[in-house]
Amino acid sequence: MEKLYNNNFFLCSTLFFIGGLATLSITPFSISPLIFILGLGVYIVHKIKSLKKIFFTGWILGFGWFLFGLYWIGSAFLVSNTYHVFLMPLAIIVLPCLMALFWALAFWFSRYIGNRIGHSIFITIITLSIAEYIRANIFTGFPWLMPSIILSSNEYTIQIFSFVGSFTGNLIVLIVSLAPIIVYCNWDNKYLIFLILFLPIIIIFYSAFSRYHHREKLIINDKQLITIVQPNIKQKDKWNAEKRDNHLKKLTQLSKFNSKKYKNKFRIIIWPETAFEGLIPRDLSLLTNTIKEAGLDNKTSLVTGLLNIKDQNLFNSMASINSLGNIEYIYNKVHLVPFGEYIPFRLLFKKIAQFISKADFSSGKNNEVMTLPNLGHVLPLICYEVLFSREVRKRVSNKTRLIINITNDAWFGSTIGPYQHFALAKIRAVELGMPLVRVANTGISALISPYGNEIIKIKLNKEDTKTSHLVENLKSTLYKTFGDWIFFISIFYILFINLLINKKFNCYRKFI
C-alpha cells in the first residue's frame, strides 16, 4: 500500500481506473460485485492525510466515475446537426470535471473536519452522501449517476427506494461498498459498532426482499387502457420538414394498431416528447387533421409532446387532445435542461450563447393539474424532469393516479444513456408506489408498476405499439410519506456511530 501512495502517477491512474470500472455495476451492465471496487477507491482516498492531495485524488476518483458513466452525452453531437461537433469534447470532459469537484470537496471536507472531531471512514461516507445531495439540488441540479442507481439493477433491491429514497440509498451503497474494509478495521468494540451500523441496513434489505416477494396483487383498472407508441425516428431526421408528413403518418398508423379491439373502451394513447413536429397555435389545423387520421373514438384521448408558443415564449409541452382534435390540457415543462433547452447566463455571454443556440425555451409556471377523462389527476413529466425525486414527490398528491413521462432518448443512440434514464424512471415509480408510463421517441418505453416491474415494454431502437390495462397505486410508501427527512435522520445516525468510535468509548484506531 505504501508503494501506491508514494507513486503519484500510479496512485492517480489506479483511482481513475477504479472510478471507471465501478460504473459497470450500473445498468445496463449491472455487475453488482463491482460496488466493492467503488468502496476500495473511497478507502484509498480516505487514507490520505494531506488536504491538498486528498482533494486531488478524490477528484481523480470522481472523474473516472463520471467520465465513464456520462460519456454518452457526447452522442448528442453526432446524431444530429443541431450542435457543433467540435464542442463534443467539451461536453464529454467538462461535465465530468465539474461533477468530480463535488467528490473532491467531500473528501477534502471529511479530512478537514475529521482532523478536529476524529477522522473515521464514517465521516467520509457522510460528506460524500451530502455532496451527492447538494449536486442533485444546487443551481438546477444534476442527480444523474448517483451511487444509489446501483440498487435499481435488481427487482428486489430496487424496493429499497420505497423505504428510504435515492439520497439515503447513496448512504447504503457507500456503506455496503466499504463493508469488507470495515470488517477488518482495528478498533475496540468493533463488533458492537458493526452491529449498530449494519443492523438497520440488514433490516432495510430484508424489508425490500419481503416487499417484493410478498407483494400485493396489483389492482387492475379494467376500465382504463394505456397505449404506448414508440416511432423510433432518427434524431437527424426528426426536424426534417420534408419528412414530417411521413413521421406523422407513422405515428397515426401505430396508434391504429388493434384499434377495433379497443373500440368503446376508455383508452389513453401516448406519443413521445415533441412527437407532433409542429408549433401550436400556428399548426393547430395540422394537429386536428392528424388526430382525425389516427381515428380516435370518443372514449380515447391522445397525450403527445409538442412545441407551444404563448405570449412570445417558447415551451416544450405535453398536451392531452380529444377525438375531435381539441386540446383539453397543456403542460409546459418546468425543469429545463441547461445548454440543451436554454443557455445559462445568456445575457452575460451573448456571443457565445448565440453561437451555441439562437433561442431559449421558457420554463412553465402555474401549470394547472392535468386531468384525463375517466382517470382523474395525472402528473406530467417531460424527459429530464423524472430525475428529480424531491420535485416529483412535491407535485404528487393523494389524487394522482398516474405519472406520464415522455422523452426523446434518440439523442443518445445505442449508448448506456437510455438505460440509465429508464432506471431513474423506475426508481420514481417505486419511491412513490405509483404506476409510471414512459414513452420515448426511441429509448425504452414502458408501463412501470409501483414495484418497478415492466408491465409492457418496447426496447431501445424498436418501432412498436403496446397496450395494457392501468394498475392502481399502492396505498403509500415510507419515502412518499416522509421524503428526505429519512436522509437527514440517517446522517445523524452515522454521526452518532462516529461519536461512539471517537468520543464515548475513546477507542478510535486507524484502519489497517
Single-letter code of the amino acid located at 383: C
Other C-beta atoms lying within 10 Å of the C-beta of residue 312: 6
pLDDT of amino acid 510: 45
Nearest to 11, CA basis, from 71, 54, 68: 54
407 bridge partner residues: 440
> How many residues comprise the chain?
512
Q: 424 CB contacts (<8 Å, ≥6 apart)?
A: 144, 149, 152, 386, 387
pLDDT of amino acid 508: 40
Dist. CA 39–CA 452, nearest whole Å: 27
Q: Please give the average pLDDT of every successive group of 10 residues along the chain, which has 512 residues.
A: 84 97 96 95 94 97 97 83 70 93 97 80 94 95 96 96 98 95 75 87 97 92 94 92 94 92 92 96 94 91 96 95 93 91 74 69 90 93 96 94 96 93 98 98 96 97 96 95 97 88 50 40
Beta carbons of 400 and 380 less than 8 angstroms apart: no
pLDDT of amino acid 341: 86
446 bridge partner residues: 438, 457
pLDDT of amino acid 421: 97
Helix (H, G, I), strand (E, B) or coil at 448: strand
What residues does CATH 3.60.110.10 cover in the chain? 220-471
Other C-beta atoms lying within 10 Å of the C-beta of residue 50: 10
Other C-beta atoms lying within 10 Å of the C-beta of residue 84: 11
Report the Cα 237 to chain-centroid distance in Å: 27
Dist. CA 417–CA 412, nearest whole Å: 6
pLDDT of amino acid 77: 78
Nearest to 76, CA basis, from 352, 337, 385, 363: 337
For domain 220-471, the question of CATH label 3.60.110.10 is answered with: yes
